Structure formats: structure tokens, C-alpha cells
Amino acid sequence: MTKSPFKGTTGFKRIWNAYHYSLAGLVSAYRHESAFRQEVALGLPLVITALVFPVSYLSKALMICTVLLVLIVELLNSGIEAIVDRVSLETHELSKRAKDIGSAAVFISLINCILVWAFVLLDQFL
């Protein structure tokens, strides 16, 4: 098996490169993916709300983690869509399935976020 030429760095240099690749990925997602921009626009006020809302630190963490999970799943979905489109723009059953499954993952993460926020808020007010 041939070693990948892209896997040559180790230690701090690898961490530094990974950091820059991650930032490039976030910038790319923000520039090119309207769903990611929408979720960031909704997520930032939610994170701020969670930070100032008078609930336990555990509740704050759960609220913030669910928002971040939506963003993570959206990034993965966008990656799936990009690679499917890279392979072929032609309509194909497997391409549709991959995109639909990615979309379903985003949908479930949004439901998870809504449920956690609802339970935390209900617990606070009831």
C-alpha cells in the first residue's frame, strides 16, 4: 500500500495545519452553503441566550451542545453533498439517497435541539 503524500506532517505542524484546514472549511461552508449561514444566524442568538439564561451550567451546556450539533451535522451534510456533486451532477438513485440521508441527519439534529431547549425551558418555568 502506498503512503499518501498528504499525510507527511506530525506533531505540532500537523495540529497547526489541521487548524488552518478547519478554518478554511468553516469559511467555505459559510460562503457557499446558505443552510449553514441560516443555522449560524439562528444559532448565535441561541448560544448567547443559553449563556445568560438563569439555568444550571449543565442545562447551559446541553443547550449550547445541541446548537453546535446542528452546525456539525450541517457541515457533514454539506460535505456529502459536495462530494456527490463532484462525482456527478447526473441524477442517480444513490446520489439522491446520500443527499436525503444527510438531510435527514440535519433534520434529526434540529428536532434534538428543539426538544432539549423545550425540556430545559419547561423545567425552568414549571
110: Cβ contacts below 8 Å, ≥ 6 apart: 70
Domain boundaries defined on the chain: 34-125
**Tell me: the pLDDT tens digits for 109-124?**
999 999 999 999 999 9
Domain 34-125 has CATH 3.80.10.10: no
Provide the 8-state DSSP code for 2. Answer: P
Catalytic residue among 74, 81, 90, 93: 74
SS3 sequence, 103-118?
A: HHHHHHHHHHHHHHHH
74 in catalytic set: yes
| Confidence band of 10 (pLDDT split at 50, 70, 90) | confident
Total-model pTM = 0.90
